[in-house]
Amino acid sequence: MATIDFDNVQKSYGEVHAIRDFTLHVEDGDFCVFVGPSGCGKSTALKMLAGLEATSAGSISIGGRDVTELGPGKRDIAMVFQNYALYPHMSVRSNIGFGLKMRGQDKADINRRVEAAAETLELTSYLDRRPRALSGGQRQRVALGRAIVREPSAFLMDEPLSNLDAKLRVQTRSEIVNLQKRLGVTTIYVTHDQVEALTMASKIVVMRGGVIQQIGSPDTLFAEPANIFVAGFIGSPGMNFFRGPVEIENGRAQTRFGEQVVPLSVSPDRLPRGEAIFGIRPEHLKIGGETGGTPVSLGLVESLGTEKILHFPTPEGQAIHSLQKVIGSDDAARDSTTMLARVIDDRRYSDGEHVRVALPEGKVHVFDPETQKALS
């Protein structure tokens, strides 16, 4: 049981700054997820915490103890690797017990604890097999077993689900969360998948280019993204953006979306003169009203049964062409001239159909076009 603190940690590989100004406090028992696009430095941050990589500057503490200068074996942490890193020439039993053996525990004690861990993870009947003779999901559980058997003060996991198929991933996701809840061990979990982050975390750290973008609970990140990157990264699909004028009428700020006048909940003196960037989540768009909103013609319609993703062009002159660089190209379906709406209803939509799209009041996010930070 331990808190974890990063204090202004830096990491550079020669010229490359992999991590900048990384400061983070994780409470005892938290499930903290580092999320961000590939190459943003998540694994590097985790490896520094594990002691597998040296920090270039700053300090790291686990449970209030400064561990910056300690080796991985002395930090009292356990780690689950993306490819599991099981020892291929050892049985499952020896794999799980290896950490205890290295710490000089006696044989009977090791055996007892290995069996208990195997029980928890339903691995008992596989204990004498080699890792090769296990399925992907079972190997993954052995890797978890190797972590829990040591009863460390923190679990570190680096994309542990990325080698599983989609169905098993969803199932294992909840197993890991339940296990963590039951054991109450502080966990740092790395993933590039924002769905994993939202569903598992009690605290999310969104990273980009080695810099923390925002730290918060899943709800906070979803409802109050700190900048355009976080807004576009979190959510499936991510937020829609458009450019619009900032107008003041009767002391209230408003913008326009096509024909629609959209009142803003941000006070006028906080808004930039002229133009701003606006964001609206696909699930907040109102589709198919008789009046109000603005008429659009639907492009692609992706149907998942009752749930549908509707594609339509951003109103004339409101597309933001520099946005691709900001949000990254993770989301292939998205380009700056297309907006998405997510609807759950029984209506049928067809390509080329004309519908009215309306932005409800209070759901529109405003971003500074210069700094890309959220305004509120």
Partner 1 sequence: MIDFSSPRHRAKFGYLLLAPAVLMMALIIIYPILLSVDISLQDVRIARVGGDREPWTLENYDWLVRSGEFWNAVWVTAKMVLTVGGISLAIGLATALLVNQKFRGRALARLFVALPWAVPEVVATVIWAWMLDSSFGVVNWALLKVGLIGAPIQFASNATAAFFAVCFVMIWKGYPLVSIMLLAGLQSIPEEQYQAARVDGANVWQRFLFITLPSLAPVIGVTAVMTTLWVFRDFAIIYVLTQGGPIGSTTTLSILTFEQSFSFFRMGQGAAVGVVTLVICAFISRALVGRFANSVH
CB of 33 to ligand ADP, least distance (A): 12
* Phi-psi label, residue 193: left if phi above 0, alpha if psi -120 to 50, beta otherwise: beta
Comparing C-alpha atoms, which of 25, 23, 45, 49 is closest to residue 35? 45
Q: Which one of ligand ADP, partner 1, Mg ion, none interacts with residue 13, CB within 5 to 8 A by kind? A: ligand ADP
Q: Tell me the per-residue interface mask from 6 to 35 with ligand ADP, x by CB under 6 A, - otherwise.
A: -------x--x-x-----------------
Q: Tell me the per-residue interface mask from 23 to 52 with Mg ion, x by CB under 5 A, - otherwise.
A: --------------------x---------
Comparing C-alpha atoms, which of 167, 116, 158 is closest to residue 137? 167
DSSP readout, 78-118?
EEE-TT----TTS-HHHHHHHHHHHTT--HHHHHHHHHHHH
Q: How many CB atoms lie within 10 A of CB 179?
A: 18
CB of 43 to Mg ion, least distance (A): 3
In sequence order, what are the beta bridge partners of 253?
248
Q: Which one of Mg ion, partner 1, ligand ADP, none interacts with residue 241, CB within 5 to 8 A by kind? A: none
Return the number of the residue (92 or 327) whose C-beta is nearest partner 1. 92
Return the number of the residue (39 or 360) whose C-beta is nearest ligand ADP. 39
Distance spanning both ends of the chain, measured CA to CA: 37
Binding-residue total with ligand ADP (CB under 6 A): 11
Q: Which H or E run contains 177?
A: helix 166-183
Return the number of the residue (50 or 231) whose C-beta is nearest partner 1. 50
Return the number of the residue (11 or 356) whose C-beta is nearest Mg ion. 11
Return the number of the residue (150 or 192) whose C-beta is nearest partner 1. 150
Candidates 25-33, 40-48, 311-319, 336-344 — which segment interacts with ligand ADP by CB under 6 A? Answer: 40-48
Residues at the interface with partner 1 (CB under 8 A): 47, 50-52, 71-74, 77-79, 81-83, 85-90, 98-99, 102-103, 132, 146, 150
Tell me which residue has its CB nearest to ligand ADP: 43
- Classify 12 as helix, strand or coil: strand
Q: Which H or E run contains 5?
A: strand 4-13
Q: Which H or E run contains 257?
A: strand 252-257
Give contact residues for ligand ADP (rule: CB under 6 A). 13, 16, 18, 36, 38-44
